[in-house]
Structure 1
Amino acid sequence: MRLVCSVASINLEAASRGFGASKGVRSTLSVFKKEENTFLMWCTTKNKHGSRYKLHNNVEKIFSRMLSEGKATIRLKDPHLDLCVSGANSIDLQRLVNAIKVASTGQSLLGRGVLSSAEPVQNRVIQKPRTKLMVNSKQRYPLLEGFPSTLEQLAVEHCSLLKLDSRMLKLRHLKILNLSNNKIKTLPDSIAEMQSLVEINLENNDLSELPNTFSMPNSKLCSSLRCLKLNTNQIKCLPLDFGNLCELYQLHIRSNKLKLLPQCIGGLQKLKVFLASDNLLRILPASIKCLSLEQIDLSGNDFLKVGSIPPLFRLKDVSSLQDLAARVIIKKRLPYDKESLTHFCREFIEGGRCCWRCSLYCFESYIRTAISFNIANITHTVVRMDNEQAVEVPIDCIMCSLRCYQGSRLAI
């Protein structure tokens, strides 16, 4: 077993004369047996053959209070020095410390699974894991060697990629993925399983949609993704459950073919930057009033005039039992699942919309209309949308009754 960690040495005799400790360096520590003696070997990139210290009756003390944090100090008698270990795997460090204690008493370590060979350490073992990689040409693309499993940031640009490399999907520690300026047309469903992604940049590709799994409730992205950049693609719509991306802070979707925003867009409670200029938007969903933004850009969209949109009356004199039951479930936040409700009933409940004026949920009985909404009410900074510097946009909203309809002063 070789423990990869950072080690700083303190010569205790020199320290007593005022000399400080050496700086911690990337190292490996291991225990090996030669003839009848057991040694501790400390290897670094500059000393691959390692410094070797006999263990039997040569360990003065081990300071192990911070083992759970991957830290420990091994004090030797000859030479009289401290080996200060940090940045180690706590479980492996515990095994090494136990092995050193056993060897210092002269007991055998055979059969304990901790002994290593005395061979020089290889560079790939001791080098600091690579966390960043940038590929900006086809010639530099790692076709054969693959991607380091320790990557946290990966940028692959101008490589004419048509799809995601399946090897990227296996990078468990990846936080930032930049695949801009390629020719990607589709994303695999398995992108939703990338559990550490904080930022995805897919600008300047040929995407027409996001996979259905992207924002499903069980998607790993729902709890990690904070920044999504989709500028300059061919996207026509976002997933219906896009509002599940509850950690999303920035959404860049300029210069696409977006016609509608999902009704659940208001569920993005942490969204602060929303840039959707130069799309095909004609009207916005009512839930947009629930956002609290720092910046919004809806310029370059051909929004409808409110007066040109006739209202749709679907009021019923008597509500159905299903309608009434669904309202109770929503109002009292009663839990339900596949076992308690049929698929049809779940779809019925989840298809309900909130009255713009009184917040009562509507299912079968409602008035659907458009009202004018000042988007300055939900943001600090607004990019003006036309030469008249207007910030009014049409909102597709639902009213539960004539009273709410009339009280909202709708432009019909």
Structure 2
Amino acid sequence: MKLVCSVSVGNRQLSNLAINSKQKHVKSTLALCKRPNSEDYCIIHFTNQNKTGTKYNIKGNVSQILTRFINDGKATIQFKMPPHDLYVQGDVIQLKGFLHLLKRVLENKVSPKELTYSSMSVMPVTTKDIAPKKLVIRKRSEYPIRGLPRTLELLYINDISKYSVDKGILQLCKLKILDLSNNCIEFIPEELNVLHLSELNLGSNNLYKSNPKQWTWMGGNLSTSLTLLNIESNKLTYLSDQIVKLRNLITLNVNNNQLTFITHGIGSLKNLKILIASNNSLSVLPGSIKKCHLQLLNLCNNSFTSTRQNNVVVSVPNNLPVYSLKECAARRILELRLTYSPAIIPYTLVHYLDYAKYCVCGKSCFEVFIRVPEMLSVSSITQELVTSTTSSYLTLDCYFCCLKCFKSSYFIRNRNPVI
């Protein structure tokens, strides 16, 4: 039996010396086989540098097998002579099958017919046979006939006029970077959020055809894993409120769309550092953006005015209505970042939570709030600003969740008259 994997070899004799006794992981093949004209079995470790392989006897020579992290595709096989530890990383299912067969060999429960290859006939798997971690597809003819390899960590499918996301992509549990730019994709299936992607590029597609209910893929595992999202050049007229669920997002690119506003929840993305929103139709920014600490804000070619308004008359009530129990509960759920879905609560409540407004303090609000415009010095939220206007002040559309937030934030900074 052969196992294609990565192996690091540790030498216990060198463990007490002032050098690192553990080698780096290298692409390898482990072969479990029977010696010719003998009842003995062995494991042969092949690498590109060692094509003849290193043989390890099995019976009476395996001190222990460590499988604590077997569900992560990791295991350790320790031999007595030579005193080597094989740190193995590979596909979970294949690794479990290999270790199961090894256990049967140690317990004398395997028949010679199950391991018919001798040590002389076993050859390492060639580089071409090793499942790839990266795949680039520029033509339809380059699509793998047998489907996408489950070992993929980087997948690029570009310029082939794809209209949907393949189900095979949704099964790539190791995938970290997915690039589907320059296609004709109209919507993303919700099942995409089962992946643990760190980067997702959907630029130059047709996502403007998606309705608001088709953005539920923002969430799930992507809530904690996704750090970069590119949805530029999709003719989008709105940015889905679902984006607030991507709480570890660092880079957001919505360049070259038709956006007239950015969702008010943008300020809840505490890790956001780069926001590229050039070539849109923006005239105001959401008030919650005051909570951001950006490194780069690109607002070139939008509709911002360069005139600062100093004498805005604001009418504010003496008090606000009492929060309903529904709003109190909803505010608390979003404050604690609790997970919710139609499988847990009614869809109407999911919709209620998804379309929350966000105060400049970062808290959510629903039915009780104060909404007024405000001017912001952009230097207070970003280290670098790229814009077409000469003014460093931009108009904000601000929500305030209570009178306290309004008075502390609005009056002190603007000193505007009030009716």
* Alpha-carbon distance in structure 2 between the residues aligned to 1:401 and 1:273: 31
One-letter amino acid of the structure 2 residue matched with residue 260 of structure 1: F
8 Å contact from structure 2 (residues 288, 359) kept in 1: no
Tell me what 2:371 maps to.
368
* Alpha-carbon distance in structure 1 between the residues aligned to 2:180 and 2:217: 17
8 Å contact from structure 1 (residues 374, 392) kept in 2: yes
Find the residue that maps to 1:397 and give its secondary structure.
Answer: strand
Tell me what 1:40 maps to.
42
* Alpha-carbon distance in structure 1 between the residues aligned to 2:38 and 2:312: 94
> How big is the shift at 1:187?
1.9
Tell me what 2:415 maps to.
409
Tell me what 2:173 maps to.
172
Over 3 Å counting, the alpha-carbon distance change for 1:307 and 1:411 in structure 2 is farther
Find the residue that maps to 1:266 and give its secondary structure.
Answer: helix
Q: 1:130 aligns with which of 121, 132, 136?
A: 132
Tell me what 1:116 maps to.
115
Tell me what 2:75 maps to.
70
Q: TM-score if structure 1 supplies the norm length?
A: 0.73
Tell me what 1:221 maps to.
222
Matches within 5 A, 1:178-197: 178-193=179-194, 195-197=195-197
> How big is the shift at 1:85?
2.6
> How big is the shift at 1:268?
0.7
Find the residue that maps to 2:217 and give its secondary structure.
Answer: helix
Tell me what 1:272 maps to.
273
Tell me what 2:19 maps to.
none
Tell me what 2:256 maps to.
255
Of 325-334 and 183-192, deviating more is 325-334
Over 3 Å counting, the alpha-carbon distance change for 1:209 and 1:239 in structure 2 is farther
Tell me what 1:18 maps to.
none
Tell me what 1:105 maps to.
none
8 Å contact from structure 1 (residues 99, 114) kept in 2: no
* Alpha-carbon distance in structure 1 between the residues aligned to 2:10 and 2:363: 69
1:253-307 C-alpha deviation (Å, 9 max, x unpaired): 1101112211111111111111000111121111111111111101111025675
8 Å contact from structure 1 (residues 312, 367) kept in 2: no
* Alpha-carbon distance in structure 2 between the residues aligned to 1:26 and 1:4: 6
Over 3 Å counting, the alpha-carbon distance change for 1:180 and 1:117 in structure 2 is same
Over 3 Å counting, the alpha-carbon distance change for 1:158 and 1:231 in structure 2 is same
> How big is the shift at 1:153?
0.3
Tell me what 1:201 maps to.
201
One-letter amino acid of the structure 1 residue matched with residue 109 of structure 2: L
Matches within 5 A, 1:86-125: 86-88=87-89, 95=100, 98-99=103-104, 101-102=106-107, 108-110=108-110, 115-118=114-117, 120=122, 123=125
- Tell me, which stretches of 5 or more residues in structure 1 are unaligned? 13-20, 103-107
Over 3 Å counting, the alpha-carbon distance change for 1:314 and 1:74 in structure 2 is same
Q: 2:384 aligns with which of 381, 386, 390?
A: 381
* Alpha-carbon distance in structure 2 between the residues aligned to 1:67 and 1:340: 35
Count of residue pairs the alignment pairs up: 383
Find the residue that maps to 2:396 and give its secondary structure.
Answer: strand
Tell me what 2:242 maps to.
241
- Tell me, which stretches of 5 or more residues in structure 2 are unaligned? 14-21, 69-73
Over 3 Å counting, the alpha-carbon distance change for 1:94 and 1:351 in structure 2 is closer
1:21-46 C-alpha deviation (Å, 9 max, x unpaired): 99976122314487872422527478
1:309-345 C-alpha deviation (Å, 9 max, x unpaired): 987857476734x448845984896989899998778
1:226-274 C-alpha deviation (Å, 9 max, x unpaired): 1011222211212213111011110111101112211111111111111
Identity rate of aligned residues, in percent? 22
* Alpha-carbon distance in structure 2 between the residues aligned to 1:360 and 1:33: 69
* Alpha-carbon distance in structure 2 between the residues aligned to 1:184 and 1:340: 30
Find the residue that maps to 2:397 and give its secondary structure.
Answer: strand
1:86-117 C-alpha deviation (Å, 9 max, x unpaired): 32567667656645654xxxxx3247x99533
Tell me what 2:28 maps to.
26
> How big is the shift at 1:173?
0.9
Over 3 Å counting, the alpha-carbon distance change for 1:127 and 1:324 in structure 2 is closer
1:133-158 C-alpha deviation (Å, 9 max, x unpaired): 1112333x316232111000011122
Of 262-271 and 231-240, deviating more is 231-240
Find the residue that maps to 1:379 and give its secondary structure.
Answer: coil
One-letter amino acid of the structure 2 residue matched with residue 215 of structure 1: M
Tell me what 2:17 maps to.
none
> Is residue 281 from structure 1 mapped to residue 282 from structure 2 by the alignment?
yes
* Alpha-carbon distance in structure 2 between the residues aligned to 1:401 and 1:52: 76
1:35-70 C-alpha deviation (Å, 9 max, x unpaired): 8724225274789998888766xx4x4354866563
Find the residue that maps to 2:240 and give its secondary structure.
Answer: coil
Find the residue that maps to 1:398 and give its secondary structure.
Answer: strand
8 Å contact from structure 2 (residues 309, 375) kept in 1: no
Over 3 Å counting, the alpha-carbon distance change for 1:173 and 1:52 in structure 2 is closer
Over 3 Å counting, the alpha-carbon distance change for 1:377 and 1:146 in structure 2 is same
Aligned-pair RMSD on alpha carbons? Answer: 4.6
Answer with 1 or 2: which has the greater Rg: 1
8 Å contact from structure 2 (residues 4, 130) kept in 1: no
Over 3 Å counting, the alpha-carbon distance change for 1:62 and 1:167 in structure 2 is closer
